[in-house]
A and B are shown apart, each in its own frame.
Chain A
Amino acid sequence: QKEVEQDPGPLSVPEGAIVSLNCTYSNSAFQYFMWYRQYSRKGPELLMYTYSSGNKEDGRFTAQVDKSSKYISLFIRDSQPSDSATYLCAMSDGGSQGNLIFGKGTKLSVKP
């Protein structure tokens, strides 16, 4: 079983839709959870950073962490064509400090 599982998609939605992106993980020691957005042939861009369980909202983006289920989600409200990208989840137990474990990414396409 891989440490972090993420459905690669592709996921295609109409403009204005609510998008739900998810990752599951197996290591119960993970405490820090991030979502990155990566446009084609670009570097990942940090979107959301959360610690432990709970919700965090930033504009149209909401990150949720459910440690009991080992499940994290990113919701995008009122999706726009400019949101079309690959979304990567990443997590860490904080111990080694540098070692982020990434999912493979979900490719999202928002159609106008």
Chain B
Amino acid sequence: NAGVMQNPRHLVRRRGQEARLRCSPMKGHSHVYWYRQLPEEGLKFMVYLQKENIIDESGMPKERFSAEFPKEGPSILRIQQVVRGDSAAYFCASSPDSGLEQFFGPGTRLTVL
């Protein structure tokens, strides 16, 4: 059973470009969570989604960031007009239900030049 998959693993963007991060949850998991980890900081919750629904986006910046989890395909975290402060590791986690046992992917490391 494959774990949570994220791609790309590394992403380099110039300021002002768009970044798209993808997450495929574990088989049978319909709940997806996105977290951001800044250097020397802990993981910070961004958004919680179920298929076609955003359940909790309280940790998501109000501008430039959006997330979706369509009926078919991976969850996407989209960052428009990236700035240097967006450079971080972005982790996706999934769970089989609304429980709290979340299984993390390997992360996408975004570097904004």
- Offer 14 A-B interface pairs, CB within 8 angstroms, sorted by A: A42-B106, A43-B4, A44-B91, A46-B101, A46-B104, A88-B42, A94-B100, A96-B48, A98-B31, A99-B48, A100-B33, A100-B35, A102-B42, A104-B40
Q: Does A19 contact B (CB under 8 A)?
A: no
Is A21 part of the contact surface with B, judged by Cβ < 8 Å?
A: no
Please report whether the interface of chain A is mostly helix, strand, loop or mixed according to DSSP.
loop
* B-binding residues in A (CB < 8 A): 4, 6, 8, 32, 34, 36, 41-46, 49, 88, 90, 92, 94, 96-105
Known contacts A88-B42, A102-B42, A102-B44; is A46 also within 8 Å of B102 by CB? yes
Chain B interfacial positions (CB closer than 8 Å to A): 4, 6, 31, 33, 35, 40-45, 48, 55-56, 58-59, 91, 98-107, 109
Q: Name the CB-closest residue of A to B48.
A: A98
Q: Which residues of A contact B98 (CB under 8 A)?
A: 97-98
CA distance A48 to B105 in the complex (A): 17
Chain A residues, Cβ within 8 Å of B104: 36, 43-46
